[in-house]
Amino acid sequence: MIRFENVSKQYPAGTHAVKSLNFDIKEGEFFVLIGPSGCGKTTTLKLINRLHELTTGYIYIDGKKISEYDIHELRWNIGYVLQQIALFPHMSIEENIAVVPELRKWSKDTIRKRVDELLELVGLEPDTYRDRKPKELSGGQQQRIGVIRALAADPQIILMDEPFSALDPISREKLQDDLLQLKERIKKTIVFVTHDIQEALKLGDRICVMQDGEIVQIGTPEEITLKP
Closest contact distance (angstroms) between CB of 84 and ligand ADP is 9
Least distance to ligand ADP from the beta carbon of 223, Å?
A: 22
Kindly state the smallest distance separating residue 82's Cβ from ligand ADP, in Å: 8
Number of other CB atoms surrounding residue 172 within 10 Å: 18
Task: Decide whether 33 or 93 has the Cβ nearer to ligand ADP.
Answer: 33
Residue 130 pairs in a beta bridge with none
Binding residues for ligand ADP, rule: CB under 6 A, are 11, 13, 15, 17, 35, 37-43, 46
Of 40 and 79, CB closest to ligand ADP: 40
Q: Residue 168 and residue 188: Cα distance in Å, rounded?
A: 26
**199/201 Cα distance (integer angstroms):** 6
Q: Which is nearer to ligand ADP, 51 or 186 (CB)?
A: 51
Helices 108-121, 169-186: axis angle to 10 degrees equals 120
Give the whole-angstrom CA distance, residue 27 versus residue 95.
30
Characterise 35 by phi-psi region: left (phi > 0), alpha (psi -120 to 50), beta (else): left
Of 44 and 141, the one with the shorter C-beta distance to ligand ADP is 44
Residue 92 or 143 with smaller CB distance to ligand ADP: 143
Long-range contacts of 110-116 (CB under 8 A, 24+ apart): 114/152, 115/152
The DSSP bridge partners found for residue 191 are: 31, 159
Is residue 18 within 8 A of residue 6, CB to CB? The reply is: no
Beta bridge partners of 190: 30, 158
Q: Which is nearer to ligand ADP, 37 or 107 (CB)?
A: 37
